[in-house]
Structure 1
Amino acid sequence: MKLHANDEIRLQAFLAHCGVASRRASEKIILDGRVSVNGQVVTELGTKVTSDDKVLVDGKPVKLEENKRYVLLNKPAGYVCSNSDEQGRDSAIDLLKEYYSERLYNVGRLDMFSSGLIIFTNDGDFAARLSHPSSELEKEYIVDSSLPLPRNLAEEFMHGVRIDGVFYKCKFAKELNSHRMQIVLIEGKNREIRRVFESRNVAIKRLVRVRIGNVEMNKLAPGGHRDLTQEEVKGLLAICRNKDN
């Protein structure tokens, strides 16, 4: 993104375009008092800034990044999806830092014990588009269980199940064998698959995300990464736009 002289932009959008975090995550960073503009801590989300303003996050200056990055990572289990973790656990972004100088952040999340595809970017508009609930972007998972799967679990998940007052429903589920299930989500509430399986006393041995929209894992090894192609980026945005129409 390039701002012309005197052009104003909301602070959370500015931070997103600087590669600090997504717009939603940037809003929390502002509310937490971690951002200053021209020496003054700012906690108002409506604040607007220009390219001439001096913006700091946690005391460090940030600036707009003109080169947009769209990176696909095959996250191994054991890594958290957070640029900083209070418990000191390994972060997925650490697997990319030696390859990219830009400040990247993850679009969506995978829990620590899950593996598979996750997208990193410094493009705030792209991240907001993919993350918005109206995008209904499909995420496909392969789940391996320790014990045989209960009968009709796939059908129950597709029809919807209520657990502790929360309604969980996948777009598609299919039992591939007695210990493996294919699941497609479009919303993806926190730990959705794990909560559904736990409610049926099914222990998950392995949970892997193998597809995000039009982007598939193919031969990307665990811990490996690659840049998304222009066609993949356009395809992801097209899917989200089509859902808005």
Structure 2
Amino acid sequence: MSGIRLQVYLARCGLGSRRGCEELILAGRVQVNEARVERLGTRAAFSDRVTVDGRVVKPVASLVYLAVHKPAGYLCANEDPEGRPLASELFKGAIKERLFHVGRLDYLSTGLIFYTNDGEFDRVVSHPGSRVEKQYLVETARAVDEAFMEQYRKGFWVEGVRYRCEDYELRSPHSVLITLVEGKNRELRNVFAARRIRVKRVHRIRIGVVTLRGLAPGRFRRLTEREVKWFYEHGGSA
């Protein structure tokens, strides 16, 4: 059968990661040539008429990759029923393409996050098999000791979920630099909460070879061609 997998086609339209596009299909929001698709396995050619929620979508003409320094109080989402500020508003007006976030930072967390319209880039950055490092500075209300961090490095379970950091560096009794390669939802807050240690700040300072250097809170920049290439070479086979 000609064409490419429908979720890949949608990702190339800038609608999100492959996983996110699969959810669009399973929710029955996608039609190919007027036929609703609700199962995975369908293929689409560039000559097909593909719609999402009734709107025609086409592969993007140009790919965009942004590094954004998210302040606290911004949400990584396409919309928010509560009307809270969205991180995408930090570059609204300056970038005409429709972008989505790669991974996420929670509402209170700060630091580096990527935005793109390249669904494949989301996969190579986020897939655990890519082993792309994400580094965080965590500040706590109570002192963190070496024994606890060693336990975290070796891995332990919290409410049925196994958490493990790749590396760490104790900066002070109340500050630790943590490196993850497979971050789970709200992992750092969950890990410290399990030890009754209140987290005062979670600040992501690095993703792979990209850091926050020179990027003030609330500002953004385009990734360089070399930076994008590094991620594809590092995680493209995952």
If the length of structure 2 is used for normalisation, what is the TM-score? 0.93
Match of 2:132 among 121, 129, 137: 137
- C-alpha distance in structure 2 between counterparts of 1:187 and 1:176, whole Å: 22
Would you say 1:119 and 2:114 are equivalent positions?
Answer: yes
Match of 1:190 among 185, 188, 203: 185
1:65 corresponds to which residue? 60
1:234 corresponds to which residue? 229
| Residue deviations 1:200-230 (CA, integer Å, cap 9, x gap) | 1111111100000111110211111000001
- Maintained 8 Å contact 2:2/2:43: no
- Where 1:26 maps in the other structure, the secondary structure is helix
1:13 corresponds to which residue? 8
TM-superposed CA distance for 1:114, in Å, is 0.9
1:91 corresponds to which residue? 86
- C-alpha distance in structure 2 between counterparts of 1:74 and 1:110, whole Å: 11
1:18-167 equivalences under 5 Å are 18-150=13-145, 152-167=147-162
- Where 1:20 maps in the other structure, the secondary structure is coil
Match of 2:170 among 175, 185, 205: 175
- Maintained 8 Å contact 2:69/2:220: yes
TM-superposed CA distance for 1:78, in Å, is 1.8
What amino acid does structure 1 have at the position aligned with 2:189?
R
TM-superposed CA distance for 1:126, in Å, is 1.8
- Where 1:12 maps in the other structure, the secondary structure is helix
- Where 1:119 maps in the other structure, the secondary structure is strand
TM-superposed CA distance for 1:121, in Å, is 1.1
2:203 corresponds to which residue? 208
**Structure 1 unmatched runs, 5+:** 1-5
- Where 2:66 maps in the other structure, the secondary structure is strand
- C-alpha distance in structure 2 between counterparts of 1:96 and 1:14, whole Å: 26
**Structure 2 unmatched runs, 5+:** none
What amino acid does structure 2 have at the position aligned with 1:63?
K
- C-alpha distance in structure 2 between counterparts of 1:120 and 1:26, whole Å: 16
- C-alpha distance in structure 2 between counterparts of 1:86 and 1:25, whole Å: 20
Moved more, 87-96 or 16-25: 87-96
Task: Report the identity percentage.
Answer: 44
TM-superposed CA distance for 1:151, in Å, is 5.0
- Maintained 8 Å contact 1:7/1:51: no
RMSD between superposed Cα atoms in Å: 1.8
What amino acid does structure 1 have at the position aligned with 2:204?
R
Distance 1:151 1:133, change over 3 A: closer
